[in-house]
C-alpha cells in the first residue's frame, strides 16, 4: 500500500510502500499466502488456456473467449503480484519510482480494461448461443471472434492511456488540486465498468427471457448452467472494481482499498479457473482426462 511520495537527492519522485505488518513472522505468513495464491492462479489459468488450445472438442467460440480470459488473468495478476511479493520478502519499506508506478498502472488498467470488455463479449456470445441458436455459427464465426478479442485489447489500451499513476491511493498523496484527475478517473472507470456491465445485464435479460420459454425444467437448468460460471465471475470482478473506482473519493479508505485490491489481484485470478472448471462439465472433463496431445509417446 502506498504511503507517501518524496523527492530524493537526484530529484526523482518515489513512493513508499507500507509494510503490512511490523512483525517478521506475520510478514512471512502473508508472503507465503500471497505466493501460494499467485502460483495457483498461474497454474490454474495456464491449465485452462492449454486445455482449450489442445482439446479439439473445446474449439468453440465460448472456450476461445475463456482461453483469452485465462491469459488476461495471468497478465493481470503478474502486473502487481511479483512486485508486491518482492516488497513483502525484502523486510523493509520498499519504494517505487513515479515512472515505475506509471508503467505498472498503465499495464494494470490495460489488462483490467480488456478483461472487463471481454466479459461483456462473453455475455454477448451466450446471448447469441441461447437466443439465436440456429444462426450461432454464422454470427460467431472465427473472424468475428478474433475481432472481438482484438477489440477488447484495443479498448483496454486506449483506456489505459488516460492513466498515469492516478489511482485513488496515489491521488490522495498529491499536494495539488486533484479534482480534474479524480473526475477523469471516474469517467474512465464508468466507461470501463458501467458500460460493459450494462451490456452484460442487457444480454442476460434476453437470456433469462429465452430460458423461461423452455418448457422442461431440465432444459432450463442445462441452458442456464452454460451461463452460471460467467455470471459468477462477472459479479466477482465488477463488484471489487466498482467498490474501488466508482465510490466518492471522500469515502475512500486505504485499509478497505487494500483489502479489495488483494481480492482482485490475488484471489480473483485463483477463483476464476476454479469456477469455470467446477461449473462447466466439458472443461472439467477435459482437465481431468489426460490429453494425448500433452503426453509423450
The DSSP annotation for 142-200 comes to HHHHHHHHHHHHHHHHHHHTT-SS-SHHHHTT-SS--HHHHHHHHHHHIIIIIHHHHHH
Is position 168 within any domain? yes
Is position 195 within any domain? yes
**Dihedral pair phi/psi, residue 270, rounded to 5°:** -80, -40
Contact 98, 12 (CB under 8 A): yes
Total structural domains within the chain: 1
| Residue appearing with cell numbers 519504494 | 95
Contact 17, 246 (CB under 8 A): no
Q: Please report the beta strands in the chain, taking only residues with DSSP state E, as ranges in sequence order.
A: 2-7, 13-17, 95-97
Rounded Cα distance, 1 and 139, in Å: 45
Is position 158 within any domain? yes
Is position 173 within any domain? yes
Residues 6+ apart with CB under 8 A from 85: 31, 34, 35, 38
Is position 274 within any domain? yes
pTM of model > 0.75: yes
Rounded Cα distance, 255 and 258, in Å: 5
- Three-state DSSP at 13 gives strand
C-alpha cell at position 104 = 505498472
**CATH no. for residue 117?**
1.20.1070.10
> Which of 114, 51, 107 shows the shortest CA–CA distance to 81?
107
Is position 5 within any domain? no
Helix axes 217-245, 179-189, angle to 10 degrees: 170
Rounded Cα distance, 159 and 107, in Å: 11
Is position 4 within any domain? no
Is position 76 within any domain? yes
Over its length of 297 residues, how does the chain's per-residue pLDDT go in tens digits? Answer: 444 445 444 445 565 566 566 666 777 888 898 899 999 999 999 999 999 999 888 899 999 999 999 999 999 889 888 888 887 777 556 667 767 777 888 888 899 889 989 999 999 999 999 999 999 999 999 999 999 999 999 988 888 876 544 455 555 555 455 565 566 666 766 777 788 889 999 999 999 999 988 888 888 888 887 788 888 888 888 877 777 666 665 555 656 666 777 777 788 888 888 888 776 777 877 777 655 544 443
Rounded Cα distance, 164 and 230, in Å: 31
Domain range enclosing 149: 15-288
Q: Output the CA–CA distances (angstroms, integers) from residue 193 to 150, 151, 239, in the order listed.
A: 18, 16, 10
CA 174, chain centre distance (Å): 27
Amino acid at each position: 500500500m502506498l504511503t507517501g511520495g518524496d523527492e530524493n537527492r537526484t530529484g526523482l519522485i518515489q513512493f513508499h510502500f507500507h509494510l503490512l505488518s511490523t512483525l517478521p513472522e506475520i510478514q512471512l505468513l502473508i508472503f507465503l499466502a500471497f505466493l501460494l495464491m499467485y502460483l495457483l492462479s498461474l497454474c490454474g489459468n495456464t491449465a485452462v488456456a492449454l486445455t482449450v488450445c489442445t482439446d479439439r472438442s473445446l474449439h468453440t467460440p465460448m472456450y476461445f473467449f475463456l482461453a483469452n480470459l485465462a491469459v488476461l488473468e495471468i497478465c493481470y495478476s503478474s502486473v502487481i503480484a511479483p512486485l508486491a511479493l518482492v516488497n513483502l520478502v525484502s523486510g523493509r519499506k520498499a519504494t517505487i519510482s513515479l515512472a515505475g508506478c506509471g508503467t505498472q498502472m498503465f499495464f494494470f488498467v490495460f489488462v483490467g480494461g480488456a478483461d472487463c470488455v471481454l466479459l461483456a463479449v462473453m455475455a454477448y456470445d451466450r446471448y447469441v448461443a441461447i437466443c439465436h441458436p440456429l444462426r450461432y455459427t454464422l454470427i460467431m464465426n472465427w473472424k468475428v471472434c478474433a475481432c472481438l478479442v482484438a477489440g477488447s485489447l484495443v479498448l483496454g489500451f486506449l483506456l489505459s492511456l488516460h492513466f498515469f499513476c492516478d489511482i485513488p491511493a496515489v491521488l490522495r498523496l498529491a499536494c495539488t488540486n486533484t479534482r480534474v484527475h479524480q473526475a477523469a478517473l471516474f469517467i474512465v472507470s464508468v466507461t470501463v465498468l458501467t458500460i460493459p456491465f450494462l451490456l452484460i445485464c442487457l444480454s442476460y435479460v434476453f437470456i433469462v427471457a429465452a430460458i423461461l420459454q423452455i418448457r422442461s425444467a431440465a432444459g432450463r437448468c442445462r441452458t442456464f448452467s452454460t451461463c452460471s460460471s460467467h455470471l459468477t465471475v462477472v459479479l466477482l470482478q465488477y463488484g471489487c472494481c466498482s467498490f474501488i473506482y466508482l465510490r466518492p473519493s471522500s469515502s475512500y479508505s486505504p485499509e478497505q482499498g487494500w483489502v479489495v485490491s488483494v481480492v482482485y489481484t490475488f484471489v480473483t485470478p485463483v477463483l476464476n479457473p476454479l469456477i469455470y472448471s467446477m461449473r462447466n462439465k466439458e472443461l472439467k472433463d477435459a482437465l481431468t482426462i489426460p490429453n494425448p496431445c500433452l503426453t509423450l509417446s
